[in-house]
Amino acid sequence: MHDPAALASTAVPLLEARNLHAHYGASHVLHGINFAIRAGETVALMGRNGMGKSTLIRTMLGLVRASTGQVLVKGQDMTHTAPHLIARSGIAYVPEGRGIFPNLTVRENLVMAARAGTRGQRDWTLDRVLTSFPRLAERLAHGGGQLSGGEQQMLTIGRALMTNPDLLILDEATEGLAPLISREIWRIVASIRASGIATVLIDKNFAALSTIADRVHILVKGSTVFEADTDQLRAQPHIRETFLGI
């Protein structure tokens, strides 16, 4: 069994933000965030709408410019590095709103992303992805745009896995999906976690998150207000009420 807590305390973080600030034009969205995730960990990034969760992710991935502060990938400063190089350091991203390529077939969506991981690992192949997502196997020749919302989400996750990442970031992966489909996504996320890939999860479903996440990181208006093991959050319902409204 892997013990994320033991691993986490020693290892260099896979991805780390240090005193990170970000702006959209004149509006200051991230106010000095410190965030870290280590190999094998599952971290839930929580907060109400518009608190800066997606922006934090996108800034760490190089998609939004960091105003000040640092982004480190495996201890290396990659603050103003091109997004594709950050991705190539072993980080896969499933964005809010999915981001499948509607003009490519399901197969093409998967194949175009295929690559060995940072340690040369090729654990996730087309076959393995299709075994994990049987619905996609049935629709290989369909255009990405023809899929249902849930299938599109599976395609984005499958595509992210094709890059054989060390860290997978899921931004609102179950947003707008029917409960049955959401459950299937959570089951998949659990199996990805069990395979040893670290995950950052952003989701509205606290119950699902709290069963899977090792740690919780809560943002309010672009600042960290709470950061602890998931058990501690469960034990403090007032924090949930104050910061998450649940």
Partner 1 sequence: MELATFLIQLLNSVQYGLLLFLISSGLTLVFGIMGIINVAHGSFYMLGAYLAWSLTQSFGNFWLALLLAVPITVLLALTLEWLVIRYLYTRDLLYQVLLTYGLILMFEEIRSILWGDDVRGVSIPAALDASIRLTDTLSYPVYRLAISGLCLLVAASMYGLIQKTRIGMTIRAGSVNREMVQSLGIDVTMLYRLVFALGVTLAALAGMIAAPVSSVFPGMGNQVLIVCFVVVVIGGMGSVKGALIASLLIGLVDTFGKVLHVEVAGVHLLPELASMSVYLLMAAILLWRPEGLFGKRG
Ligand X SMILES: Nc1ncnc2c1ncn2[C@@H]1O[C@H](COP(=O)(O)OP(=O)(O)O)[C@@H](O)[C@H]1O
Interacting residue ranges for ligand X, rule: CB under 6 A: 24, 29, 47, 49-55
Indicate the residue among 8 and 106 with the shorter CB distance to partner 1: 106
Among 96, 108, 175, 227, binds partner 1 (CB under 8 A): 108
In angstroms, what CA-CA distances link 144 with 14, 153, 163?
31, 11, 18
Q: Identify whether the C-beta of residue 182 lies closer than 8 Å to the C-beta of residue 146.
A: no
**What is the Cα–Cα distance from 233 to 227, expressed in whole angstroms?**
9
Cβ 57 to Mg ion, closest distance in Å? 8
Torsion angles phi and psi, residue 221, rounded to 5: 45, 45
Cβ 199 to partner 1, closest distance in Å? 16
Q: What does the block give as tokens for 182?
A: 């959401």
Among 23, 31, 48, 115, binds partner 1 (CB under 8 A): 115
Question: For the packed helices 179-194 and 149-161, what is the interaxial angle rounded to 10 degrees?
Answer: 10
Measured in Å, how far apart are the chain's first and last C-alpha atoms?
A: 33
Instruction: Answer yes or no whether residue 147 interacts with partner 1 by CB under 8 A.
Output: no
Cβ 9 to partner 1, closest distance in Å? 29
- Please tell me the count of residues contacting Mg ion according to CB under 5 A: 2
Q: Identify whether the C-beta of residue 86 lies closer than 8 Å to the C-beta of residue 78.
A: yes
The item of partner 1, ligand X, Mg ion, none sharing an interface with residue 50, based on CB under 5 to 8 Å by kind, is ligand X
Footprint on this chain of Mg ion (rule: CB under 5 A): 54, 96
Footprint on this chain of partner 1 (rule: CB under 8 A): 61, 63, 82-84, 87-88, 92-93, 95, 99, 101-104, 108-109, 111-113, 115, 159-160, 163
